[in-house]
Structure 1
Amino acid sequence: MAQIFGYCRVSTTDQDLTIQETALRAAGATIIRSEKKSGTTTNGRDELATLIEFARAGDTIMVTRVDRLARSIADLAQIVRTLESKGVHLKATEQPIDTGSAAGKAFLQMLGVFAEFETNLRRERQLEGIAKAKADGVYKGRKATIDADRVQELAKGGMGASEIAKVLGIGRASVYRYLKD
């Protein structure tokens, strides 16, 4: 018997999945998998991988919006190809997406383009904001976690890079980087 599976995703641990879960249950999803991971990649999204692996021919995987599934065209296309090869349909509750129809597939691809575009715009705005903050002297990057003077001091005392790394609890490559400067 065909099943309807739901998939929920938010990007950060402080975000709530309740609205998505409620919408998926109302749309008929009987089993819902959810996770709090970035949508910019499928790497590390174990719940999604489990759901895709578990779904069988005739089943449906449902999301509220396509951006909950993937934020890159490549990832979205791969997920859709995998589902199609298994005979699994993809649907969305808030968008007219249904991979069982040509129109649904076309709309899915268009929304995928916009999801990736939105991610790229967000990244550009973030980089612009960081550049402005650096120019204004507000943002200076992450504080150094390695005491450069201590590295130099230990080196002048005759310690080798491996020993300095061990004493300070840092990587040997970091020691070499500080000694080079």
Structure 2
Amino acid sequence: MFVRAYLRASTIEQDASRARADLEAFAAERGLAIAAAYVESESGASLQRPELFRLLADSRPGDVLLVEQVDRLSRLNAADWERLRAEIRQRRVKVVALDLPTSWQLAVAHSDDFTARMAEAINGMLLDMLAAIARKDYEDRRRRQAQGIATAKAKGVYVGRPEDTERNTAILAMLQSGQSWNTILKATGCSRSTLARLAKRLTPGGTVGATIA
């Protein structure tokens, strides 16, 4: 059994190192070692997460997918969550989350098949419930954000999120030097959608175009 840590953070520098330390401490307390860590900054509301699916592709039946919180694994809608759950079940990977104590027993070997099956059934039910709660929290925050923006626009005070010009300048330079998207994503912690928007600023001649609002 291999333990594979999955870390999804809004920015790699800000959150992933702390989460990694928590996962390593959890594993060490149980005499386990993390075989590999998979880090990305994609949205939990999207299935477009190459590192998560690389983790699943690397896994063998009985391996553990260790995550800090269920919402790090999923803020997916019901249909996408079912697709991800089907992939996890097909590969017979055990999901262990620090915020789901019932899952902790999946990180240790059970003496009999009945106990193992009961633990997996209970954990699966609670995992589905927490994934649904994570999705609702995501939708509630998006709705409140949209309401706040609409109110600010009505008052004429909405200015939008300020651009991180220092980071974006560095990303544009990396694009111009021919570095791969995956390298840039890992180095900067930006999202794939942000990188796509910045790539559009480059003209066919390789110079930086006008800023896109």
TM-score by length of 1: 0.70
For residue 47 of structure 1, report the CA deviation from its aligned partner.
Answer: 1.0
Contact 1:8 1:68 in 2 (8 A): yes
What pairs up with 1:99-138 in 2 under 5 angstroms? 101-138=120-157
Q: What amino acid is aligned across from residue 136 of structure 1 in structure 2?
A: K
User: Residues 104 and 141 (structure 1 numbering): CA distance in 2 closer, same or farther, change over 3 Å?
Assistant: closer
Across the aligned residues of Structure 1 and Structure 2, the Cα RMSD in angstroms comes to: 2.1
SS in 2 for 1:58: coil
Tell me which structure has the larger Cα radius of gyration. Answer: 1
Q: What amino acid is aligned across from residue 114 of structure 1 in structure 2?
A: I
Deviating more after overlay: 45-54 vs 22-31: 22-31
Residue 35 of structure 1 corresponds to which residue in structure 2? 40
Counterpart CA distance in 2 for 1:136 and 1:77 is 42
User: Residues 108 and 129 (structure 1 numbering): CA distance in 2 closer, same or farther, change over 3 Å?
Assistant: same
For residue 131 of structure 1, report the CA deviation from its aligned partner.
Answer: 0.7
Deviations for 1:19-66, whole angstroms, at most 9, x for unmatched residues?
Answer: 2111222223221111122211021x2211110111111111111111
Q: What amino acid is aligned across from residue 9 of structure 1 in structure 2?
A: R
Picking from 79, 89, 94, the partner of 2:94 is 89
Q: What amino acid is aligned across from residue 92 of structure 2 in structure 1?
A: G
For residue 74 of structure 1, report the CA deviation from its aligned partner.
Answer: 3.2
User: Residues 22 and 76 (structure 1 numbering): CA distance in 2 closer, same or farther, change over 3 Å?
Assistant: farther
Higher fraction of helix: 2
Residue 78 of structure 1 corresponds to which residue in structure 2? 83
TM-score by length of 2: 0.60
What pairs up with 1:136-151 in 2 under 5 angstroms? 136-139=155-158
Q: What amino acid is aligned across from residue 86 of structure 1 in structure 2?
A: R
Task: Verify: 1:50 aligned to 2:54, yes or no.
Answer: yes
Q: What amino acid is aligned across from residue 128 of structure 2 in structure 1?
A: Q
Contact 1:4 1:31 in 2 (8 A): yes
Q: What amino acid is aligned across from residue 90 of structure 2 in structure 1?
A: S
Counterpart CA distance in 1 for 2:102 and 2:7 is 16
For residue 14 of structure 1, report the CA deviation from its aligned partner.
Answer: 5.4
For residue 71 of structure 1, report the CA deviation from its aligned partner.
Answer: 0.3
Q: Percent identity, aligned pairs only?
A: 35
Counterpart CA distance in 2 for 1:95 and 1:60 is 14
SS in 1 for 2:38: strand
Counterpart CA distance in 2 for 1:109 and 1:70 is 10
User: Residues 97 and 112 (structure 1 numbering): CA distance in 2 closer, same or farther, change over 3 Å?
Assistant: farther
Q: Which has the higher contact order (CA 8 A, sep 6+)?
A: 2
Q: What amino acid is aligned across from residue 10 of structure 1 in structure 2?
A: A
Counterpart CA distance in 1 for 2:13 and 2:66 is 23
